[in-house]
């Protein structure tokens, strides 16, 4: 579905390159705001009257944004030292509900575990997690359960949707770019507009920006119908 589509594009491109269909691929997408989309989310009771506040104790829904992003993926053997690599891709479809995530984060957990496995990494190898974090009660709670089950309370994580809004079809690509910038700039982004983290959340959620060495990032994109994708990005050694 839309919310994971441009993250899944990374997986499609990687498979095509591995199969020898192409040497490089441009991945990405765009999504612009329209009234039909806004009314649709509003009818589901998912929109906030103000800027969204992911993982906040008083979060009350998404803020729909619009944006676009594109990236070039090439064969890994062409990568120069210091280049950013797509290390792993995980995809799942829990099909729990058309518009509600699995309450225990089953699909999210499966996608993250598959991404780590395909990258040949352990949870401790991830420096930062860019969460899907839409600021709805159910989405944030289920993602937190999945993240905590895999990573425990140590790995720093945050959602950047407080700054961008939910970009729907463009969310996967833009948040992959944010993850790349986190690596290149040595910066774990905090969560704009989130004032106090919901005490029910157990993961290590960042409210403020944190300067730190970042070599590997996992980024989540979860869509309606349980269509989930997690990417692992990291620096070429």
Q: How many CA atoms lie within 13 A of 63 on its CB side?
A: 17
Instruction: Annotate 71-129 with DSSP letters as a single string.
Output: EEEE-GGGPPTT-EEEEEEEEEE----SSS--TT-HHHHHHHHHHHHHHT--GGG--EE
- Interacting residues of 201 by C-beta distance below 8 A, sequence separation 6+: 55, 140, 141, 144
C-alpha span between 5 and 69 (Å, rounded): 12
Strand partners, 88: 232
Among residues 52, 102, 157, 166, the one annotated as catalytic is 166
CA angle centred on 223, ends 218 and 225, rounded to 5°? 135
Tell me if residue 132 is catalytic: yes
C-alpha span between 58 and 221 (Å, rounded): 23
User: By the 8 A CB rule, do 221 and 229 touch?
Assistant: yes
Tell me if residue 229 is catalytic: no
C-alpha span between 167 and 159 (Å, rounded): 13
Among residues 3, 52, 157, 229, the one annotated as catalytic is 3
Among residues 52, 102, 132, 157, the one annotated as catalytic is 132
Tell me if residue 166 is catalytic: yes
Active site residues: 3, 132, 166
């Amino acid at each position: 579905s839309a919310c994971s589509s441009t993250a899944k594009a990374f997986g499609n491109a990687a498979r095509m390159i591995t199969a020898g269909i192409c040497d490089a691929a441009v991945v990405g997408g765009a999504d612009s705001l329209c009234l039909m989309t806004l009314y649709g989310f509003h009818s589901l009771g998912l929109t906030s009257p103000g800027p969204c506040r992911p993982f906040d104790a008083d979060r009350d829904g998404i803020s729909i944004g619009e944006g676009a992003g594109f990236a070039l993926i090439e064969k890994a053997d062409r990568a120069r030292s210091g280049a950013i690599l797509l290390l792993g891709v995980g995809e799942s479809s829990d099909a729990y509900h058309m518009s509600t995530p699995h309450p225990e984060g089953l699909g999210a957990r499966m996608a993250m575990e598959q991404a780590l496995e395909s990258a040949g990494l352990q949870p401790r190898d991830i420096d930062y997690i860019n969460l899907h974090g839409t600021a709805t009660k159910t989405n944030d709670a289920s993602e937190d359960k999945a993240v905590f089950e895999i990573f425990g309370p140590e790995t720093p994580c945050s959602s950047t949707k407080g700054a961008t809004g939910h970009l729907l079809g463009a969310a996967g690509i833009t948040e992959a770019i944010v993850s790349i910038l986190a690596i290149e700039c040595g910066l774990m982004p905090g969560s704009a507009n989130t004032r106090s983290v919901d005490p029910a959340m157990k993961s290590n959620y960042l409210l403020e920006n944190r300067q730190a060495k970042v070599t590997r990032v996992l980024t989540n994109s979860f869509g309606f119908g349980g269509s989930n994708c997690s990417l692992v990005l990291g620096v070429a050694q």
